[in-house]
């Protein structure tokens, strides 16, 4: 059984931090702050070779790598997984920040981008339609990647769900124009992606009637069973597998919350 704190760190590092790219893509005015940036921001758990990642800005274009960088501009070093998880889920954490004094302007400029990720927290309920739409998009992208990382990190429920499954696609879609996200499962292996999976017909598709319906379900304001009754959510395919996957999604929500 994997260590719960370490598994959550894996999920947050590989499913949440990459969504800074989505933040920048959705807000051109905000993204302009980083135009021309050539910086590397790293996050790492001290004494854990696997748990590290970095965000590289090249002329303002952001890329994410699940590896250590040899010379980051700013390096957030956490004493353990609990400290990193606390920072990412709205708690109090004080990482060592290598390069903070000499590169304070970079740190100050980066923090607003970091704070944009708080929209993923269950306690964040945007009041505008635009804010709710962004939360839906980022939550779908997060949850599909988090499911894959749960599997790769050895979660027993997710491993049991995937280990004997043939090549199958689980698709999430919001009418009328998205967002869309998918999870591919094949004999114990998983991969997540954005958009509509085009290479084969999905085994299960979870279709939200509109953005508001997706927002209500993804923030647990409306239960999946109730959403299906009210036609806010249609599950096309095997309801049994949809239920099992929904339970694992709730497990991730509980870990983050």
- Return the residue matching tokens 């279709």: 207
Classify residue 231: in a domain, yes or no: yes
Classify residue 142: in a domain, yes or no: yes
So what's the pLDDT on residue 243? 79
Q: Are residues 154 and 214 in the same domain?
A: yes
Q: Are residues 110 and 134 in the same domain?
A: no
Classify residue 187: in a domain, yes or no: yes
Residues spanned by the domain of 144: 129-256
Sequence-separated contacts (24+) of 219-224 with Cβ below 8 Å: 219/122, 219/125, 219/135, 219/139, 220/122, 220/253
Q: Are residues 194 and 98 in the same domain?
A: no
CA separation (Å) from 209 to 216, 237, 239? 11, 17, 18
Regions of the chain where pLDDT drops below 50: none
Answer for the pair 71, 57: CB distance below 8 angstroms, yes or no. Answer: no
What is the number of other CB atoms lying within 10 angstroms of the CB of residue 117?
Answer: 19
Q: Are residues 151 and 110 in the same domain?
A: no
So what's the pLDDT on residue 253? 84
Kind and range of the H or E element at 206? strand 204-208
Answer for the pair 122, 256: CB distance below 8 angstroms, yes or no. Answer: yes
How far apart, in whole angstroms, are the C-alpha atoms of residue 186 and residue 80?
Answer: 33
What is the per-residue pLDDT across 62-110, written as a single tens digit (0 to 9) for each?
999 999 999 999 999 999 999 999 999 988 888 999 877 788 999 999 9
So what's the pLDDT on residue 195? 96
Q: Are residues 184 and 251 in the same domain?
A: yes
Classify residue 214: in a domain, yes or no: yes
Contacts of 68 by beta carbon, 8 Å cutoff, 6+ apart: 42, 44, 52, 54
Q: How many domains does the chain have?
A: 2
So what's the pLDDT on residue 8? 96
Classify residue 61: in a domain, yes or no: yes
So what's the pLDDT on residue 241? 81
Q: Are residues 69 and 143 in the same domain?
A: no
Q: Are residues 85 and 39 in the same domain?
A: yes
Classify residue 124: in a domain, yes or no: no
The CA R_g of the chain, rounded to the nearest whole Å, is 18
Q: Are residues 68 and 169 in the same domain?
A: no
Last residue of a domain, one of 119, 138, 171: 119
Q: Are residues 110 and 151 in the same domain?
A: no
Q: Are residues 175 and 147 in the same domain?
A: yes
Under DSSP, the state recorded for 60 is T
DSSP-assigned beta bridge partners for residue 233: 208
Q: Are residues 102 and 59 in the same domain?
A: yes
So what's the pLDDT on residue 225? 86
DSSP-assigned beta bridge partners for residue 61: 58
Classify residue 151: in a domain, yes or no: yes
For 174, the 3-state DSSP assignment is strand
Query: Domain of 142: which CATH number?
Result: 3.30.1050.10
Q: Are residues 191 and 85 in the same domain?
A: no
So what's the pLDDT on residue 247? 84
So what's the pLDDT on residue 1? 63
């Amino acid at each position: 059984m994997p260590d719960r704190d370490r598994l959550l760190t894996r999920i947050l590092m590989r499913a949440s931090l990459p969504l800074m790219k989505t933040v920048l893509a959705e807000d051109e005015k905000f993204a302009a702050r980083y135009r021309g940036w050539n910086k590397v921001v790293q996050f790492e758990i001290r004494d854990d070779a696997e748990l590290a990642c970095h965000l590289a800005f090249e002329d303002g274009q952001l890329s994410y790598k699940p590896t250590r960088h040899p010379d980051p501009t700013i390096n957030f070093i956490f004493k353990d997984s609990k400290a990193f998880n606390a920072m990412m889920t709205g708690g109090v954490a004080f990482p060592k920040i290598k390069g903070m004094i000499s590169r304070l302007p970079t740190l100050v400029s980066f923090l607003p981008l970091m704070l944009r990720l708080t929209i993923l927290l269950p306690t964040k309920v945007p009041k505008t339609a635009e804010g709710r739409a962004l939360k839906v998009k980022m939550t779908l992208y997060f949850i599909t990647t988090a499911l894959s990382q749960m599997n790769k990190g050895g979660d027993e429920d997710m491993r049991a769900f995937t280990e004997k499954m043939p090549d199958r696609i689980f698709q999430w879609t919001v009418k009328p124009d998205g967002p869309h996200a998918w999870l591919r499962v094949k004999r114990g292996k998983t991969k997540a992606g954005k958009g509509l999976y085009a290479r084969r017909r999905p085994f299960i598709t979870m279709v939200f009637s509109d953005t508001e319906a997706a927002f209500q379900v993804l923030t647990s304001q409306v239960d999946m069973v109730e959403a299906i009754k009210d036609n806010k959510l249609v599950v096309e395919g095997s309801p049994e597998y949809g239920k099992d996957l929904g339970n694992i999604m709730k497990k991730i929500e509980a870990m983050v919350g």
